[in-house]
Amino acid sequence: MSRRNVHPLAHLALMTATALFAFPLVWMVLSSLKPANQLTEDPYAFWPTRWQWSNYPQALSSLPYLRYLRNSLILCTGSVIGSVTSCAVVAYGFSRLRWRGRDAVFGVLIATMLLPWHVTMIPRFLLLRELGLYNSLAALIVPTFLGDAFFIFLLRQFFLTIPDELSEAARLDGLGEWGIFTRIIVPLSKPALATVALFQFIASWNDFNGPLLYLSDPQKFPLAYGLEQFVSSYSDQTHLLLAAAVMFTLPMVVLFLLAQQTFLKGIATTGIKG
């Protein structure tokens, strides 16, 4: 893209769009600092009548934060490792190798995403229980090592954009398929792999249903479960809910800032690869 001059009008458009997108976010942070009675009486005000920083420690102290955080981190890192490795390997098989029935099997993979989870939840639960995974974070981590259709599809699309000549050249150099995968495709697909890692981390971080259904011991629940605790039909705790939501989202910002560095790098270096 034009890497030198950005037209001022284009810049303006971008800033307007940003303002529109960011407004609810800014407002969420501001509202999380409002006293409870302001949210009750006039939730539409922009500024807090009083900056109630105590919402944050209060939201923290109403749940075993560190324990939930620990569980979330185990769940997220385990799932990220599982997803990135398994999905990359499987996507390679679906994109860079020719074999009989490949497209038909790929069709089946896509089809597995088309049935709402509500109707497959019970048998899936019974299977995981039979495998001895009930009430263990492994029930949520182990399946990620068996590939996820969404990520496999995504990585396949990325792998398909890499010119075939690269693989052919490597084959002529005597590199096996595993070698091509690890030494050529993976290094060229870092932005895509970072995307998968980021998405899987977020999915696990936000997952509330999975832990609740597959775990029975509250000591093993992740942070998303703690957040859900603020949602109650009987009491007005919106100020705490928002404070908890901000704290819950913050690690994602850090993670995203780190992950997007790889996209930048992609732009700078892919030129050398040919």
Partner 1 sequence: MFRRATLGPLFISPWLVGFVLLVAFPFAASLYWSFCHYDLLSPPRFVGLENYRRIAQEAVTGGRFGQALWNTGYFALLSVPLSIFLGVTLAVMLTWKIRGQAMYRSLFFLPSVVPVVAASVLWMWLLDPRDGIVNESLGWLGISQSLWFKGATEAVVPPGWFDFGSKDALVLMAVWASGNMMVIYLAAIGDIPTQLYEAAELDGAGPLRRFLHVTLPMLSPVIFFNLVMGVIQSVQAFTQVYLVSEGTGEPAGWSLMLSLHLFLAAFQDLDMGYASAMAWLLFVVLLGATIFLFRTARHWVHYQGIMR
Partner 2 sequence: MTRHSAVFAFALLLFLGGLLIWDRLDVRAQIPAERREVVFWHFWGGADRAIVEEVVARFNRSQDDHFVRAIAMPGNNLDLKLFLAISGGAPPDLINQDDPIMADWASRGALLPLDEVASQEDISDLQHWLVPAARQLGTYEGSMYALCNGLDIRALYYNKSVLDEYGLAPPTRLDELDNIAFTTSTFDADGNPQRFGYLPDPRRLWAWGTVFGGDFYDEPAQRVTADSEPIVRGLQWMTSYRRRYGADAVAAFRQGDQSLPGKSFPLLSGRYTTVMDGQWRVRDIVRSQAEQRQRGEPVTEFGVCPLPPPEGGQQRAGWVNGNFFVVPRGAQNQGGAWQFMKFWSGFGGFEDEAAQTCRAGGWIPVSTRVVNRPAFQAFLREQPLFAQFVELAASPHQVPTPVVPGAPFFQRTINEAASKAMYVDAAPSVSTLLQEATRTIQIQLDAQKETPLVAP
Closer to partner 2 by CB, 13 or 263: give it: 263
Out of 111, 113, 258, 267, the residue judged to bind partner 2 by CB under 8 A: 258
Compute the least distance from the CB of residue 72 to partner 1, in Å.
13
Task: Give, in degrees to the nearest 5, the angle at Cα 193 between 76 and 163.
Answer: 165
- Measured distance CA(200)–CA(202) in Å, rounded: 5
Nearest of 147, 127, 145 to residue 213 by alpha carbon:
127
- Measured distance CA(182)–CA(179) in Å, rounded: 5
Q: Is 262 in the site for partner 2 (CB under 8 A)?
A: yes
Nearest of 79, 80, 65 to residue 225 by alpha carbon:
65
Nearest of 188, 166, 202, 176 to residue 83 by alpha carbon:
202
Q: Is 183 in the site for partner 1 (CB under 8 A)?
A: no
Q: Is 134 in the site for partner 1 (CB under 8 A)?
A: no
Q: Is 233 in the site for partner 2 (CB under 8 A)?
A: yes
Out of 58, 62, 85, 182, the residue judged to bind partner 2 by CB under 8 A: 62
Half-sphere exposure (Cβ direction) of 179: Cα atoms closer than 13 Å: 11
Give one DSSP letter per residue of 52-94, joined into a string. -TTHHHHHHHTTTHHHHHHHHHHHHHHHHHHHHHHHHHHHHHH
Looking at this protein, which amino acid is placed at residue 100? R
Q: Is 8 in the site for partner 1 (CB under 8 A)?
A: no
Considering only residues 187-226, where is the footprint of partner 2 by CB under 8 A? Answer: 190, 194, 197, 209, 212-213, 216-219
* Partner in contact with 30, chosen from partner 2, partner 1, none, beta carbon below 5 to 8 Å by kind: none
- Measured distance CA(50)–CA(144) in Å, rounded: 46
Stretch of residues binding partner 1 (CB under 8 A), selected from 50-58, 59-67, 72-80, 161-169 = 161-169
- Measured distance CA(10)–CA(2) in Å, rounded: 12
Out of 9, 44, 66, 174, the residue judged to bind partner 1 by CB under 8 A: 44
- Measured distance CA(127)–CA(130) in Å, rounded: 5
Compute the least distance from the CB of residue 102 to partner 2, in Å.
30
Calculate helix-pair angle for 149-160, 190-206, nearest 10 degrees: 160
Compute the least distance from the CB of residue 33 to partner 1, in Å.
14
Compute the least distance from the CB of residue 63 to partner 2, in Å.
9
Out of 16, 49, 112, 135, the residue judged to bind partner 1 by CB under 8 A: 112
Compute the least distance from the CB of residue 118 to partner 1, in Å.
6
Closer to partner 1 by CB, 94 or 221: give it: 94
**Residues near partner 2 (CB under 8 A):** 37, 39-43, 62, 66-67, 69-70, 73-74, 76-77, 80, 121-122, 125-126, 129, 134, 190, 194, 197, 209, 212-213, 216-219, 228-238, 255, 258-259, 261-262, 264-265
